[in-house]
Amino acid sequence: MAVAATDIRVTMPPQPLCFDGRDALAPLLERAFGPEREGDWRLLPAWVNRRPAAASYLRGPGDPELRAFKLDVLRVEGAEIAEITTFGYALFDAFGLPMTLPRENA
């Protein structure tokens, strides 16, 4: 079963970017998670305005720490993610999220 709805929408305010559907989202996912990617990702679960969210941390090549990168707020319908709204790490403080992850979580 797919986690993302076929017609998933991803936006990144305040940027005018909008990806509609799995096919439109595929190049973005390939760049972030494909074989050519650099660095390691970690996610922490969060809640934003009573919606599930994921705080993303990235450790770039040569960096010993996982650093705050983005906050994805999800709209879930049934068992599928229908929409993801991505914000920058500037909101981490407002939601009590750390700016770096301790090494034991890395």
Q: How far apart are CA 94 and CA 48, in angstroms?
A: 10
Q: What is the dihedral of CA 85, 89, 90, 91, to 10 degrees?
A: 50
* Alpha-carbon dihedral sign for residues 17, 24, 86, 34: negative
Report pLDDT digits (tens) over 78-96.
Answer: 999 999 999 999 999 999 9
- In which band, very low, low, confident or very high, does the pLDDT at 103 lie, cut at 50, 70 and 90? low
Measured torsion, CA atoms of residues 96, 101, 102, 106, in degrees rounded to the nearest 10: 150
Q: Take residue 76 and report the two structure tokens written for it.
A: 């879930």
What are the tens digits of pLDDT across the range 30-77?
877 777 777 788 999 999 999 999 999 999 888 889 999 999 999 999
Instruction: Report in angstroms the alpha-carbon separations of 54 from 10, 23, 43, 62, 74.
Output: 14, 22, 6, 24, 8
CA angle 4, 7, 8 (to 5 degrees): 50
- For domain 4-105, give the CATH number: 3.10.450.50
